[in-house]
Chain A
Amino acid sequence: MDIESLIAEDPERQTFRVHRSVMTSPEIFELERKQIFGRSWLLIGHESEIEQPGDFRRREVAGRPLIFIRGKDGVVRVFHNSCTHWGTKLCRLDQGNASSFQCFYHAWTFNNLGELIAIPDAGGYPENFNRAELALKPPPHVDNYRGLYFVNFDPGAQPLVDYLAGAKDYMDLILDQSEAGWRVVAGTQMYTVRANWKLMATNSLDTYHAAPLHTTYFSYMAKFKGLDYEAETKASSIRAGGHGRSLGNGHGVGESAPGGLARPIAHWHPMFGEAARGEIDRVRKRIFERFGPERAGLMCDTFRLFLIYPNFVFHDIMAVTLRYFEPVGPDAVRLTVYALAPKDESKEQLELRLNNFVSFLGPGGFAHPDDLEAIESCQDGFRSQEVEWSDFSKGMNRDPEVMDELPIRAFWRQWQAQMLGYDRATRFDDLKLAGNGASAAGK
Chain B
Amino acid sequence: MAGKSNGRVTRGKPADLEREVERFFTMEAALLDEWRLTDWLKLFTEDARYWVPTTDLPEGRAGETLGLIDDDFTRLQARVDRLLSRHAHREFPWSRTRRFVTNVRVNESNGDQVKATASFLVYRIRNRHVDPYIGRYEYVFRRVDGGLRIHRRVAILDLEALDPHATVSFIL
Contact = CB atoms under 8 A, between A and B. Distances in A.
Interface in A173-226: 185-194, 213, 215-216, 219-220, 223
Main SS class of interface, B: loop
Interface string A364-391: 1010111011101000100000000000
B165 interface: yes
Contact of A366 (B52, B60, B82, B164): B82
Interface stretch (B9-17, B26-34, B66-74): B66-74
A214 to B, nearest CB: 9
Nearest to B164: A192
Contact of A192 (B52, B87, B166): B166
Interface in B133-161: 160-161
Contacts of B64: 186, 347, 350-351, 354
A338 interface: yes
Interface string A347-365: 1001100110111001110
A28 interface: no
B130 interface: no
Instruction: Categorize the interface residue count of chain B.
Output: 35 or more
A189 B85 contact: no
Interface string B61-98: 00111111110001100110110010111100000000
B88 A370 contact: yes
Nearest to B88: A216
Contacts of A191: 161-163, 165-167
A242 to B, nearest CB: 24
A216 B87 contact: yes
Given A187-B54, A219-B81, A220-B75, A364 B68 contact: yes
A334 interface: yes
B125 interface: no
A358 B162 contact: no
B66 A185 contact: yes
Contacts of B63: 347, 350-351, 354-355
B54 A194 contact: no
Given A219-B81, A354-B66, A366-B78, A373 B89 contact: yes
A213 B162 contact: no
B73 to A, nearest CB: 12
Contacts of B70: 354-355, 358
